[in-house]
Chain A
């Protein structure tokens, strides 16, 4: 395979595997949040703040991956 083809595969893997991880994380956390707020609705507001904070933390690794993959796709240091 050529370098460009390998880089294209790598970009797909970076985004795809990152998305799997981030989605599982967000799914678990969102489910727990719904569960917790069903048990104790009065805690919903303070939990919501924390949930968004954690959602950002979970999303960050994935979005960094997307950024790097996009950079490889367009301004590639390896394609040379």
Chain B
């Protein structure tokens, strides 16, 4: 919001804050030529931070008395490992899927936690360093962008297909597509295939939409709360403080819960790929 000619109305404020830093304006609902640079940047940055912290924890791990950091990471690893053992029975797959689930959990948690930064802080920082002429709109929560979460869901879909083919081989997988769940009858093939395709689509879309919906609603509520302070009255400031604090505390629960659910569903879906019908 670089122009100081007039203060934005509530609607303009929200619309401005919901704008992405695009390579070009998005015209239709699905437009694969548009890149949301802000989502990409923050998602990759959080991923790098996640990997760096886990690498540091693994590097500095001692068999002696663990420090606080090591104890926290150990607790996380153990938690994820317990869940993975309960859901995925193949020890060979767990070698890859359990660390993946841990990384996903911490990554999604970090990305969701960007929601706790004050909504106007990134814009103000950009204005201070004089970049606001180039960066007109900027959203920092990658998981509050449908493209980000659906992208991750597609990653999980790819894993599902990979493990389906790896465990049951291509023939078994195709056999299952046509013969489950109703049975191996030639006139049931179309219905089985349709149901399986719907199941895969529903899993992927709901996995992405769930995370997106929660984070988007949270982000939007933070913006609405920020509008209270924009009334520039004492009750507005007071209400913003109280409502913001309450929503932020509740949001901590949602952030961790959604990251946990994303991790668990990744494990569950990959686990299902291991089960034959």
Which A residues are within 8 Å of any B CB, using their own CB? 49, 52-53, 55-57, 59-61, 63-68, 70-71, 74-75
Contact = CB atoms under 8 A, between A and B. Distances in A.
Contacts of A64: 209-210, 212-214, 216-217
Interface string B231-259: 00000000000000000000000100110
Interface centre among B216, B217, B258 (most CB of A within 10 A): B217
B213 A53 contact: no
B217 A56 contact: no
Contact of A63 (B10, B214, B264): B214
A71 B210 contact: no
Contacts of A61: 213
A70 B11 contact: no
Given A64-B209, A74-B14, A75-B18, A55 B217 contact: no
B260 A70 contact: no
A61 B214 CA distance: 9
Place the interface of chain B in its size category. 20 to 34
B219 to A, nearest CB: 8
B213 A60 contact: yes
B15 interface: yes
- SS of A interface (majority): helix
A70 B217 contact: yes
Contacts of B15: 74-75
Contacts of B83: 49
A63 B14 CA distance: 18
Contacts of A67: 213-214, 216-217, 220
Contact of B11 (A55, A57, A66, A75): A75
5 cross-chain pairs, A with B, having the tightest CB-CB distances, nearest first: A64-B213, A67-B217, A74-B14, A60-B210, A67-B216
Contact of A70 (B10, B209, B220): B220
Given A75-B14, A75-B15, A70 B221 contact: yes
B261 interface: yes
B224 interface: yes
Nearest to A55: B257
Given A60-B258, A70-B220, 18 more contacts: A52-B257, A52-B260, A53-B264, A56-B257, A56-B261, A57-B261, A60-B214, A61-B213, A63-B214, A63-B218, A64-B209, A64-B213, A65-B213, A66-B221, A67-B214, A68-B213, A70-B217, A74-B224
B213 A71 contact: no
A10 B191 CA distance: 36
Interface in B89-114: none
A63 B143 CA distance: 14
Nearest to A68: B213
Nearest to B11: A74
A74 B10 CA distance: 8
Contacts of A65: 213
Contacts of B218: 63
